[in-house]
Amino acid sequence: MRPSEEVLNEFYGLADLDSSARYRAVAGIVSKVKLDNSIEEYCIERLVSGLGSSRAAARVGYSTALCILLSDASDKWTLGSAYAIGHHLLNTAIVQSDAFNKDHALVLERELSLYRAYPFLGMTVAQILADISSKMDRKTFKLVVLPSIKSYLEGALTASSPEFVYVALLLRKKFSALIHDVVPFINKDGSCNFSDKCGQLLTTVKKCDKSAMKVFANQLLLAAREVGQFCLIYRNVLEKWSTSGDESKVLERIFETAEMSLTNGSDYREVGVLLFYYYYHNYIVLTVFSPEFMKRVTNVMLGKQGPQQRMLKSRVCDSH
């Protein structure tokens, strides 16, 4: 359940450089969760995603609040989830050791069983499936791996499964002919064609876990750039995802999306507005924003002063 605006505003204080302000924000979030348990899941998820933030003192504030909430909720933890994570880490160690290559089929089946029972492990399971496959030749992959994941790959887009869209993107070059037969957007040469898939991809992106969004989006943008469809995916998938929801969510996503667009070689003339910083007679690229992004930013900056405006100003300062 999405919390009220009063609760959402507390998150801005977690990144404040003033320790007193952070303390008040932590206390505010913890007290509000205790009063309304329905917002606990949202708050924990958002706190986890904030641990990787480079904004001001965000990591200190977010980790403090998260530790307190997890400590208070420890009696609700299920052993099943802990065991699942333990088994997954063991399987990962087995694959990375290269000492049990003959047992990859068994590890694969165990990972798929974990995925079916504990979907929250989806993207990490997808990564280990790709790692196992990368160690195989085409014949072994066809005999050992493909039969087990074929149905997942076939329904990846229709079921809006980011995990298996991600697997397809990772395996498309090495096993292009085999993947092409089961994944509709993969061509025989391993390239992609997203022309009529933007709607399904947008739904898939919306279901992607926050912690895995960056790696998933990077693979998607790389594949799109290779075939000249970068702007198609940027405008019709990532930008629509970034600008959906309330201003708080938009401002959280806006800089990450712009960073991904630069990292993956966007054409700013097609994507949107390129901002420059003039320094000692040299133009330095700061970031790329689409017109839609600029409109949302302008609305916040021209509006009344509040947590969203302060957060935006701090991010602009961090960029410099």
* 220 neighbors 233 (Cβ within 8 angstroms): yes
Query: What dotted CATH number matches 1-76?
Result: 1.25.10
Residue 275's φ and ψ, nearest 5 degrees, are: -95, 130
Give the pair of three-digit tokens for residue 91.
């399987």
pTM of the model: 0.65
DSSP 147: H
* 190 neighbors 139 (Cβ within 8 angstroms): no
Q: What is the pLDDT of residue 164?
A: 95
Bigger pLDDT: 81 vs 216: 216
DSSP 186: B
Bigger pLDDT: 105 vs 243: 105
pLDDT exceeds 50 at position 267:
no
Return the amino acid letter for 272.
G
In this structure, of 11-20, 231-240, 253-262, 276-285, the range with the lowest mean pLDDT score is 276-285
Tens digits of per-residue pLDDT, 39-88?
A: 888 888 888 777 777 777 888 899 899 888 877 766 665 556 767 877 88
Q: What is the mean pLDDT of the chain?
A: 80
From CA 318, how far away is CA 41, in angstroms rounded?
A: 29
Q: What is the pLDDT of residue 9?
A: 87
Residue among 6, 5, 23 at smallest CA distance from 61: 23
From CA 34, how far away is CA 46, in angstroms rounded?
A: 16
| pLDDT interval class at 1 (50, 70, 90) | low
| pLDDT interval class at 163 (50, 70, 90) | very high
* 25 neighbors 11 (Cβ within 8 angstroms): yes
From CA 319, how far away is CA 75, in angstroms rounded?
A: 41
Q: What is the pLDDT of residue 287?
A: 44
What's the longest Cα–Cα distance across the chain? Answer: 63
| pLDDT interval class at 98 (50, 70, 90) | confident
Q: What is the pLDDT of residue 69?
A: 84
pLDDT exceeds 70 at position 90:
yes
3-state helix, strand, coil in the chain (%, to 5): 70, 5, 25
**What share of the chain in percent tops pLDDT 90?**
32
In sequence order, what are the beta bridge partners of 288? 274
Q: What is the pLDDT of residue 230?
A: 86
Q: What is the pLDDT of residue 270?
A: 43
Give the pair of three-digit tokens for residue 267.
């054409």
Residue among 186, 191, 108 at smallest CA distance from 143: 108
Bigger pLDDT: 53 vs 174: 174
Return the amino acid letter for 105.
A
DSSP 192: B
| pLDDT interval class at 304 (50, 70, 90) | low
Residue among 95, 86, 150, 155 at smallest CA distance from 121: 86
In this structure, of 116-120, 151-155, 201-205, the range with the lowest mean pLDDT score is 116-120
Other C-beta atoms lying within 10 Å of the C-beta of residue 150: 14
Q: What is the pLDDT of residue 187?
A: 94
pLDDT exceeds 80 at position 10:
yes
Bigger pLDDT: 201 vs 318: 201
pLDDT exceeds 80 at position 155:
yes
From CA 56, how far away is CA 42, in angstroms rounded?
A: 22
The end-to-end CA distance of the chain, in Å, is 36
